[in-house]
Amino acid sequence: MPEDRIMHVGEKLMVDIIDIDVGRSIILLHELDAARMSIHMGDRATICRRGRVCGNVAIVNTSDTMVSKGEVGIYNDLAVKMKLSPRSYVYITPREKPPTVGYIRKKIEGEELTEAEITAIVKDIVNDNLSDIELTSFVTATAIHGFTKSETVALTWAMVNTGTRLKFEGTVVDKHCVGGVPGNRTTMLIVPILASLGIKIPKTSSRAITSPSGTADTMEVLAPVSYGASDVKRIVNKIGGCIVWGGAVNLAPADDKIIHIEYPLSIDAEGQVLASIMSKKKSVGSDYVLVDIPYGKGSKMPTLEKAQELGEKFVWLGGEIDMKVKAIYTDGTQPVGNGIGPVLEAIDVLNALSGDGPKDLVDKSVMMVGEILEFSGNAPKGAGLKEAKECLDSGDALKTMRRIIAMQCGNAKITAKDLKPGKYKIVVKEESGGSVKSIDNKLIARIARTAGAPQDHAAGVFVNKKVGEKVGAGEELFTIYAENKAKLQYAEYLLKEGKAIVVG
């Protein structure tokens, strides 16, 4: 009988259910019980129910106070999965670490991993077979040593093949921005424009990692974004497009677990970024993908040369996984739009769709739609931009966005005037006057995050003036919004670190 199906083997312990969901298989042993079984903190153990076969593997934590000797603490989500009741009995058996721990050690030492080793690691990530320490070690090692080309391709396919895959009839297009520019909510204009033109764009977006808002955070102001694969197919087949959070669709689920580790460390390994983005595009059945790579001071790519190097990698990886990819290079030296933070960005989007939005946001969005139309063969060369503008100006894109909002269970009648930023604010004004010379993207983003964005949807920064615009003495440069006074005060401290907007 295979090891994971042996019955009635191991230490018999009484179940103590801990009424907390931890999102993975974790058990708690008394330190004396763990020592008797030669189990240490972070080791694995197999859990068997009485009269049932084995098969549930959990990470072990130990304590001499939270659980009694002779008992095993089972967190609520695992207890529900195993259909355990309090004071029932289970059998706990030590289990060896999986081979993937050795593969992670190889990566820590800077060695290249094989396709099989990367696939095994990704499967263990998805199945929660790695402890937090082991997963963090893998993420850190990849950030330090990077990925080779073969590792990047292997990681991409492994992410695709361990998650849900969608398939639609006809051509499917998509877009992605590598980020680093505050605001920049082009997706929320691009999707309704393309869907209005009869082109499928099942847009799965991320939440913020290091920014004041991700597209999913901003869309959530207008409608729920947590939908499964069947709902995404239903919405897209009905309207042509959607804007949902990728984490709920189970597309490349390993990626979301890796991002969870990257977030507090504020790291983005290039190979991981490439695999993350491209695996999700492949998973939704994209045939054509436009990648927006902003560059310049204050963005992720400091120079055009660096941006082009990254763009070539996207195009190359697209070819490796049978997708056509085009990279464009845009100004990343200042925010796009005026609002930074979920509610403020949603206001920009609704205004733009209604014909009264920030010019830079509108211009960039229709330019990108034009590129997608021509790149995917849906418009003759040179005609895409005109078609995109006409769709936006006619109001068709707004109507389609309202249909998307309704299909995602939001209020289809919502307007920009219905959205209110945080009630606490600080208005930063210009002292002497002149014209705006530069905007510090990183400082503006830090201010918005410190004010509470994106967790506090109404927090953020509204930028009144952009580079090149004239500003008089006493005129408003930007406004900081928060939902509580304490966070607003924290954000105000950052104003002493430097000039968020330089006027000269």
State the catalytic residues: 268
Contact 61, 43 (CB under 8 A): no
| 107 contacts 145 by C-beta, under 8 angstroms | yes
Distance of CA 271 to the CA centre of its chain: 16
Specify whether the CB–CB gap between 453 and 213 falls below 8 A. yes
Identify the sign of the CA torsion 352, 355, 357, 360: positive
Three-state DSSP state, 123: helix
Q: How does DSSP classify residue 3?
A: G
Give counts: helices (H), strands (E), the chain: 19, 18
CA distance 15 to 85: 7
Q: What is the DSSP string of 221-264?
A: TTS-----HHHHHHHHHHHSEEEEEHHHHTSSHHHHHHHHHHHH
Backbone dihedral angles phi then psi of residue 411, each to the nearest 5 degrees: -90, 105
CA quadruple 160, 165, 167, 172: dihedral, nearest 10? -50
For 406-474, the DSSP string reads HHTTS-TT--GGG----SEEEEEE-SS-EEEEEE-HHHHHHHHHHTTTTTSTT-EEEE---TT-EE-TT
Query: Where do we find the tokens 């949807």?
Result: 457
Rounded to 5 degrees, φ, ψ at 143 are: -70, -35
Distances from the Cα of 145 to the Cαs of 158, 269, 457, in angstroms? 20, 9, 36
CA distance 308 to 311: 5
CA distances from 493 to 92, 155, 341, 447, 496 (A): 52, 42, 19, 9, 6
Q: How far apart are the first and last CA of the chain?
A: 78
The residues that bridge with 75 in the sheet, in sequence order, are 18
